[in-house]
Amino acid sequence: MDAMINSEASQETLYTEIKSFFDSAPPLRDAPDISRKLDEFLKWNSVSPGSERGSRIVCVTSGGTTVPLEQRCVRYIDNFSSGHRGAASTEYFLKAGYSVIFLYRRGTCQPYCRSLPDDPLLECFESASDSNIQVRQLHSEAVKRAISEHNVAVAKGLLLKLPFTTIFEYLQILQLIALSMRSLGAHAMFYLAAAVSDFYVPWESMAEHKIQSGSGPLDMRLVQVPKMLSVLRKEWVPMAFCISFKLETDSKILLEKADMALTKYRMHVVVANELSTRKEEVVVVTSSGKFSVRRDKTQAGADVESPLIELLVEKHSAYIEDSKS
Ligand code: PMT
């Protein structure tokens, strides 16, 4: 009885923290435009069986969120993520017949552009004559692939890309996406690979102007960002198949933490990865067991995301079947 009261009280505290996070967040400037794009995308992809457009839709989050330290932001705290995991996974989900909402940090890795050099504009192109620009031979295959596959996915209405920078933008857009995907039931999937800030400065207590360095050491109070995973699972999209990630640098605690996340946030899957080996191996943690997934080292350029997405699609299919009974 005491345990039940305690858990209800902590639930209540979480909801108060979430409300206070959203109430104090600076309003999304382009919310109407994002809602319109989501509406159009979901209408287009809610189609009859057999169509090329997917009846399954996944929201892939990618890249790290920032925490601004000033309202007219000059300085911010960042979270590590190159966006490679999200971009690669998006490609494999599209290949598996899913439509994808790609919620990504501006400036991070993009689907189909992973094999382009760091500065594609300057490195991939050269002047052919006074007025013409041509693709350098060395990069022509990669450029062709990026343009054709990316543009085909967008033109067919199978890929919607929505950018964020701050933790405020990320969580507000994630909520808009989740609420609009609610009606898809078990066909909706959330693949939360973004590295989300754990602490933030509430907007109302944030300095408006650039913090001056002449006034000695900086003393600043950061508040915990409420974990949105429980509210996503319970309130926003109760029927969706939800996958979160667990990143650690100490492999000894990784699986234990992933198990905890699975139970605490009632995720269907937690993908456990260690920072230094994340491109080689991940462990898919579910209530029915743990599955180690490795990149196929015998194939040049093989990604760990290929077998990972294959396994997750299988698990999602089983979940959709189960939800029918
Ligand atoms: O982008 P790459 O360079 O390819 O790297 C990929 C990756 C290592 C970033 C990715 O595979 C990964 O592990 N992403 C999750 C990193 C992370 O934030 O882990 P975490 O243990 O802090 O959070 C666990 C989960 O809780 C995440 O799914 C996150 O979306 C969620 N979270 C976190 C904080 C918070 N306040 N609310 C949340 O919902």
Query: Do 58 and 191 contact (CB within 8 A), yes or no?
Result: yes
Q: How far is CA 148 from the centre of its chain?
A: 24
Which two three-digit tokens encode residue 167? 């933790």
pLDDT at 110: 95
Pocket test for ligand 1, best of 244, 277, 279, 285 (most atoms within 8 A of CB): 244
| 141 Cα to the center of ligand 1, angstroms | 32
| 212 Cα to the center of ligand 1, angstroms | 32
User: CA-to-CA distance for 69 and 197, rounded, in angstroms?
Assistant: 13
The residue whose C-alpha atom lies closest to atom 13 belonging to ligand 1 is: 247
User: Pairing relation of β-strands 281-286 and 223-224?
Assistant: unpaired
Domains of the chain are 8-112+152-239 (3.40.50.10300), 245-324 (3.40.50.10300)
The residue whose C-alpha atom lies closest to atom 21 belonging to ligand 1 is: 246
Say if ligand 1 is within 6 A of residue 194 CB: yes
User: CA-to-CA distance for 24 and 226, rounded, in angstroms?
Assistant: 13
Query: Do 84 and 62 contact (CB within 8 A), yes or no?
Result: no
Which two three-digit tokens encode residue 226? 């409420």
The dihedral of CA 73, 61, 200, 66: what is its sign?
Answer: negative
Say if ligand 1 is within 6 A of residue 278 CB: yes
Nearest to 282 by CA among 269, 272, 297, 290: 272
**Residue partners of 165: CB distance under 8 A and separation at least 6:** 65, 66, 105, 106
User: CA-to-CA distance for 325 and 317, rounded, in angstroms?
Assistant: 13
User: CA-to-CA distance for 285 and 264, rounded, in angstroms?
Assistant: 13
Nearest to 248 by CA among 278, 266, 275, 280: 275
Assign 291 to helix, strand or coil: strand
User: CA-to-CA distance for 98 and 189, rounded, in angstroms?
Assistant: 10
| 64 Cα to the center of ligand 1, angstroms | 8
| 197 Cα to the center of ligand 1, angstroms | 9
* pLDDT per residue of the chain (325 residues) written in tens, 0 to 9: 555 556 777 778 888 999 989 998 999 999 999 999 999 999 999 865 555 555 899 999 999 999 999 999 999 999 999 999 999 999 999 999 999 999 999 999 999 998 898 888 889 998 887 788 899 999 999 899 889 999 999 999 999 999 999 999 999 999 999 999 999 999 999 999 999 999 999 998 898 999 998 878 888 889 999 999 999 999 999 999 999 999 999 999 999 999 999 999 999 999 999 999 999 999 999 999 999 999 999 998 899 999 999 999 999 999 999 998 8
Say if ligand 1 is within 6 A of residue 90 CB: no
What does the buried/exposed string (b/e) look like for 119-139 if buried means 16 or more CB atoms within 10 Å of the residue's CB? Answer: eeeeebeeeeeeeeeebeeeb
pLDDT at 6: 65
Say if ligand 1 is within 6 A of residue 82 CB: yes
User: CA-to-CA distance for 292 and 277, rounded, in angstroms?
Assistant: 13
| 210 Cα to the center of ligand 1, angstroms | 29
pLDDT at 315: 98
Q: Which atom of ligand 1 is nearest to the CA of 279?
A: 4
| 278 Cα to the center of ligand 1, angstroms | 12
Find tokens 């990069």 and name the residue: 139
- Residue 14: which H helix or E strand, with range? helix 2-24
User: CA-to-CA distance for 280 and 295, rounded, in angstroms?
Assistant: 5
Say if ligand 1 is within 6 A of residue 284 CB: no
